[in-house]
Amino acid sequence: MNADSYDAMPPAGATAGEVLTRYLHERAAGFLRGLSLRGENEAEADALLRGSARRIGGALHTFGPLTDPAWAEPLRAELAWLSATLGREPQHAGRLARLLEALRRLSVAAPEGQEPVLAGGTGGAAPPAVPAPASGGPLALGAARAGALLERQLTLARTRAHSASLQAMGSSRFHALADAIAVLVSEVPLTPAAAQPAQAVLPQLAGQASQRLADAAAALPLGRAAHPYNADAVQAALGAELTADLQDAPWHQVRILLRLTRYAAEVTRAEGDTAERQRLADAARLLERHREAAESAAAVAAAARTPRIAPATAYALGVLHADQRHEVEAARFAFSRLWQPAVPGARRE
């Protein structure tokens, strides 16, 4: 995003309000830049809009005591709406790419020079709409059809998300939000607490965000997740949908708290140590992978409920679903090792 543009240190002795305002100004400018870029490069513009919206919303959340809540709370809600709306299209696109890549990996051909043995029937399935890979059996045929089904469904979802984005950007709701951001560039409604020295207030509020992250991460089943092949995440594969949701929710929560902690560090310009910053960035990347795999698995389960699909297609979707739940587990494993590198007894199976 546009974190790089905020590269000047705040003046020593500045008030908390001054530092926060300066950060919000920068982000608001980024937002308005994204808006003007939209005619040229929609994807880049949307990414800039989302990044700015998330950072403004995050700063207003973490440093809440410094701004007027009657102004900040509704603004945060509108920023969250915009960020979610603009995020859907790239998410559907990423999900489709991830699932097609997984299907390709799962349908890998036998090593060269080996002719595959084509086994039995395809379970009464109709002729394939999509040609099967050269060296696949009937199950690989199911993979091709599963890929075609996911492509149809996720492309449709993506098109709808794109329309929704366009509609949102043309709405009076968005124009009101853009107006509020434009005001933010000139003026931020501060509370009396914002008059204190930055060093007396900002590190403490950022520290609270870090503590919320630490607490939420400590409540995760990290010891268990650090044992490879514990098969926890895949438990949900044939259970009720809610099993997966309940199981994944605390990890998603940590992902959000991690983001807030990283944005708070942008405000305080905490130099921190590079290793710690890198650790947080790596952790964020792993939990992003966790989210993508979990949502991809859910998209596969949804595709499997399409009426009248062939058994070979359903079979391939089942394999793919379990594969994505294992990706969920792999992300949890990597996060656990990163977050608690010294879990006793977790090194070996």
Cα separation of 149 and 230, whole Å?
Answer: 31
Cβ contact 42:246 at 8 Å = no
Show the site string, 88-107: x = touches its own copies by CB under 8 A, - = not.
---------------x-xxx
Check residue 194 for interaction with its own copies (CB under 8 A): no
Radius of gyration in angstroms for the set of CA atoms belonging to the chain, rounded to a whole number: 24
Q: Which of 66, 102 has the CB closer to its own copies?
A: 102
Q: Which amino acid is at 104?
A: R
What are the φ/ψ torsions at residue 109 (nearest 5 degrees)?
A: -75, 160
Q: Which amino acid is at 76?
A: R
Check residue 321 for interaction with its own copies (CB under 8 A): yes
Among 8, 36, 114, 345, the residue binding its own copies under the rule CB under 8 A is: 114
Shortest Å distance, C-beta 257 to its own copies: 22
Which residue blocks in 68-220 are alpha helix, DSSP H? 69-106, 138-169, 172-186, 198-218
Which region among 158-166, 180-188, 253-261, 310-318 touches its own copies (by CB under 8 A)? 310-318
Q: Which of 84, 110 has the CB closer to its own copies?
A: 110
Among 108, 156, 200, 218, the residue binding its own copies under the rule CB under 8 A is: 108
Q: Which of 69, 239 has the CB closer to its own copies?
A: 239
Q: Which residue in this structure is represented by tokens 């709808």?
A: 160
Q: 88, 17, 95, 23: which is closest to 58 by C-alpha?
A: 23
**Contacts with its own copies in 135-174 (CB under 8 A)?**
135-140, 142-143
Check residue 310 for interaction with its own copies (CB under 8 A): yes
Shortest Å distance, C-beta 275 to its own copies: 15
What are the φ/ψ torsions at residue 307 (nearest 5 degrees)?
A: -65, 150
**Contacts with its own copies in 215-274 (CB under 8 A)?**
228-229, 231, 234-243, 246
Check residue 32 for interaction with its own copies (CB under 8 A): no
Q: Which residues contact 192 (CB under 8 A, 6 or more apart)?
A: none
**Contacts with its own copies in 122-141 (CB under 8 A)?**
122-124, 135-140
Cα separation of 148 and 154, whole Å?
Answer: 10
What sign does the dihedral 264-270-275-276 (CA atoms) show? negative
Which region among 1-9, 12-20, 39-47, 118-126 touches its own copies (by CB under 8 A)? 118-126
Shortest Å distance, C-beta 295 to its own copies: 15
